[in-house]
Amino acid sequence: MSKATAQPLSLKLASGAFLAFWCLIAAFPIAWIAVMSVKSPRDAFDASAWNVITGPATRAAGNGLSFLDILLGLIVLYFAIRWAFTKLSRLVEQFSPPGFIVLGWLVGAAVYGLLFVLIFFGALPVIFGALNSIAGPLGTPILGLTTEHYVAVWAENQFYRNFINSMIVTAGVVTVSLTVGTLAGYGLARSGSNLAFWLLIIALVFRALPHSVLVAGYLPWFINSAEILRPILGDLSPTLYGQPWAIIAVLVAINQPFTIWMLRSFFQNIPSELDEAARVDGCSHFQAFRRVIMPVMWPGVITTGLFSFLLGYNDFLVTALLLDAQNQTMVPAIAGYFNRETTTTDQVEAVAAAVSITAPLFLLVMVFQRQIVSGLTAGAVKG
Amino acid sequence: MKFKTFFWFVAPSVFMMLLFIAAPLISVFIQSFQITQPVMQQIEVETCTPGFLTQTCVTEVKTVPVINEETGRTETTTAWVGFQSYQNVLQMDKFWSAIGSGNWGEILQIDFWKALRFTLMFTLVTLPLVIGVGLMIALAVNNAAKSLRGPVIFVSLLPFIITPVIGSLSIYWLFVGDGILTATLERWTGQDIAMFAQAWTIELLMYFYRVWHVAPFAFVIFYAGLQTVNMDTLESAIIDGASRFERLRYVIVPHLMPLIIFIALIHLMDCYRVFDEIIGFRSQAHVISLQWLTFDFLTPDDAGNRAISRAAASAMLTMVGIVILLILPLRRTWRDHKGGAH
């Protein structure tokens, strides 16, 4: 950088301070609810920040970490994370069959997550308990910490059911909307016709529609669908209201405008000479798509898939109105906590549920940060 | 690409959009002029209570819904009611009487106008804030050391990626009752503060939440745009003696202008359907939005009835609003398309 563009110290300091301030604001609410969720209700809603962090009431109730626990825990955590980023990726690449690397990662991540939970919450407390009893002053608890709210949420309130429903809905949304959207995005990217332009504009208008408008259209049909469909399907006709797969169809459709815009801009980046060469060699359009484009489209598809995942995972409005209580996904289920949130214990359980919903998203940003950034900019820079 | 091939590529996607977006729109449009009610009948019921010597019998006329013998459900009729549902939502008579008497504040007592006021104000207040804050973060990150940029982007993405309901809840818990920030504020000011007892403080928190949630999106896009700023132009501006601010104003901002318009358009669409904040902050008693109004009509009341036709009317009115907001940007796109290479 030349001398003329060098910045005075005051400007550098101001810019650095602003950045630090922004990072604090960005992370604070999320970090704070994570801290609250592991304290006893009295500590979690204490007026003093120091008490919330150290948790004296939690410690007094016998749930605490000693200096030794914290030190050893951090060491184990460090090696667990390092192992995930070095050995795990090698193992996944070694054992997954060629072409199924994504599937391999999914299985690998699930197994890793399970092992992590078993070691951290199953094995370590037992070992640490034994160590603490012989460690003397280093073994006395100094930091209050309890997992009772998570146990209450996941085991007693059966939050895992909502988790499974969320996973079914999001997996369905991602697969179907990518399958349908990839074809359309490719078609739109390779066709310069007026029709393609109008389709994109209509998709843009559809993207702007408030979801409640659409749900107002679905509800009467979904509730009465068994009677409406009876003449066609006979006694097999389903009531669509409360069915996860009906929600998947709805969310896929709502997501379609965004998906085709994004995938179109990714496909425009793939040079069209590539499929033209395949066509010259005698492929039809579909063959060219399958043999030439499919192997190179995955970065764009993964990025778009991330955003479809977010839409399915984060949705409140559609799932709250179209699913009944047994099939509820996680985000609307947390609304159930508001309604009976009478004691502070209920409130902290709601906090624990909220943190449970956020944790997968946190992992998602950690693993896919680059794809998310490229996805955000792809739509904007290409227009 | 031939039309036929193109058709087969886009057919599944277009089919989904027609079935689940276009068809519901038509359905909502029709429903907003109809009303479906259970068929009521009046029957005479004689109830007798034991009395001295003779029973005391009372005959009264009760209105009960007709139950279909075969299906066991209540029978319903659907009638065309014209603009009655719209009238129920808009409450124009109260609106005009409020204007006539000069009490403008009374208009905001009606749910629809209250929701419209908040939705529009929310959209317009957060728009410049999001663009400003996003640009500032992008400039600051561009200024920072290379090794810091990755972690800063990671932290910045968190508010963007978090579930909106959970994000607003996390801020709600900081301020609710004796939440940590309310307690701190109380200590500083020495006053008793209740953030969720009046509308304007809730609204402030909602603006804050939305800027917190969307600024990272603007930041990432501006940051990508800043990487492509033409260095030659910037250097010639320096030679011409432009100050730091002038360089920002006359070189960098014009370069980012297409991105600013893009963000403004996306923000307009997303803000207009503000909804999750109302749930997260539990503000329905004080502040409501248009989308929440429709949601509320669609939620079953205590008797299990959903006000479908009123929901349809309010949904149509919401849609009219978004169409008005989008007309200008769309006309621009159309002109660009006409003037483009096609």
- Percent of chain B exceeding pLDDT 90 equals 22
- pLDDT for the residue numbered A133: 76
B61 has pLDDT over 60: yes
Residue B341 is predicted with a pLDDT of 44
Q: Is A218 in Cβ contact with B10 (below 8 Å)?
A: no
- In terms of domains, do B216 and B299 share one? yes
B-facing residues of A in 244-263 (CB < 8 A) are: 249-250, 252-254, 256-257, 260
Question: What's the rounded mean pLDDT across residues A246-265?
Answer: 90
Q: In this model, does residue A379 exceed pLDDT 70?
A: no
The tokens describing B9, both together, are 């590529």
pLDDT band at A314, cuts 50/70/90?
A: very high
SS (H, E, C) B8-57: HHHHHHHHHHHHHHHHHHHHHHHHCCEEEEECEEEEEEEEEECCCCCCEE
**Interval A24-82: pLDDT, tens:** 999 999 999 999 888 888 888 888 888 888 888 888 877 777 777 888 888 888 888 88
A137: Cβ contacts below 8 Å, ≥ 6 apart: none
Positive or negative: CA dihedral B175, B178, B184, B189: positive
Distances (CA, A) of B188 to A21, A41, A47, B183, B196: 20, 25, 13, 9, 19
| Position B209 in a domain | yes
Mean pLDDT of A212-235: 82
Average pLDDT, chain A: 84
Mean pLDDT of B123-150: 91
Q: pLDDT band at residue B2, thresholds of 50, 70 and 90? A: confident
Chain A, 170 to 209: residues with Cβ < 8 Å from chain B are: 179-181, 183-184, 186-188, 190-197, 199, 201-209
Average pLDDT over residues A235-242: 78
Q: Distance, in angstroms, between A122 CA and closest chain B CA? A: 29
pLDDT at A106: 77
- Pick from A60, A28, A61, A56: which is nearest to A43 by CA? A56
What residues in A contact B173, CB-CB < 8 Å? 32-33, 36, 347, 351
Which tokens go with B43?
A: 């029957």
The answer to whether B168 and B281 are in contact (CB under 8 A) is yes
Where along chain A do its domains lie?
25-152, 157-382
At residue B243's C-alpha, the angle toward residues B240 and B248, to 5°, is 105
In a shared domain, residues B11 and B126? no
Which tokens is B209 given? 């939440």
Interface probe for A, chosen from B30, B146, B163, B317 (most Cβ of A below 10 Å), is B163
Task: Give the pLDDT mean for B189-194.
Answer: 84
Is pLDDT above 50 for A280?
yes
Quote the pLDDT of residue B342.
42
Q: Is the pLDDT of residue A4 over 70?
A: no
Does 1.10.3720.10 match the CATH number of domain A157-382? yes
Pairwise CA distance, residues B28 & A107, whole Å: 43
Whether residues B170 and B263 fall in one domain: yes
Q: Does B113 lie in the same domain as B203?
A: yes
pLDDT of residue B3: 84
C-alpha distances (whole Å) from A91 to each of A33, A97, A100, A104, A179 are 35, 12, 14, 10, 29
**Average per-residue pLDDT in chain B?**
86
**How many contacts, defined by CB atoms under 8 Å, are there between A and B?**
297
Domain, as residue range, for B24? 1-31
Give the confidence band of A243 by pLDDT, cuts at 50, 70, 90.
confident
Cβ of B163 within 8 Å of Cβ of A381? The answer is no
Q: How far apart are CA A85 and CA A103, in angstroms?
A: 17
Span B242-272, pLDDT tens digits: 888 888 888 899 988 888 988 888 898 889 9
How far apart are alpha carbons B284 and B296 in whole angstroms?
10
Which tokens sit at A104?
């391999």
Place of tokens 């030349």: A2
pLDDT for the residue A5: 62
Q: Helix or strand or coil: residue B64?
A: strand
Is residue A148 pLDDT above 90, yes or no?
no
Task: List the Cα angle A143/A147/A151 in 5-degree steps.
Answer: 170
Residues B257, B150 share a domain: yes
- How far is it, in rounded angstroms, from Cα A358 to Cα B167? 9
Per-residue H/E/C for B230-248: CHHHHHHHHHCCCCHHHHH
Residue B36 lies in a domain: no
> Quick one: B129 and B246 in the same domain?
yes
Looking at chain A, the whole-number percentage of residues with pLDDT higher than 90 is: 16
Q: Are residues B25 and B148 in the same domain?
A: no
- Examine residue B93 and state whether it is found in any structural domain, yes or no: no
CATH number of the domain within which B226 lies:
1.10.3720.10
Is the pLDDT at A3 greater than 70, yes or no?
no
Q: Chain B within 8 Å of A18 (Cβ-Cβ)?
A: yes
pLDDT grade for B72, boundaries at 50, 70 and 90: low
Average pLDDT over residues A14-22: 92
Residues B216 and B329 in one domain: yes
Of B153, B224, B315, the CB nearest to A369: B153
Looking at the 3D structure of chain B, how many domains does it have? 2
Tell me which chain B residue has its CA closest to the CA of residue A50.
B180
Out of A48-57, A101-110, B23-32, B78-87, the most confident range is B23-32
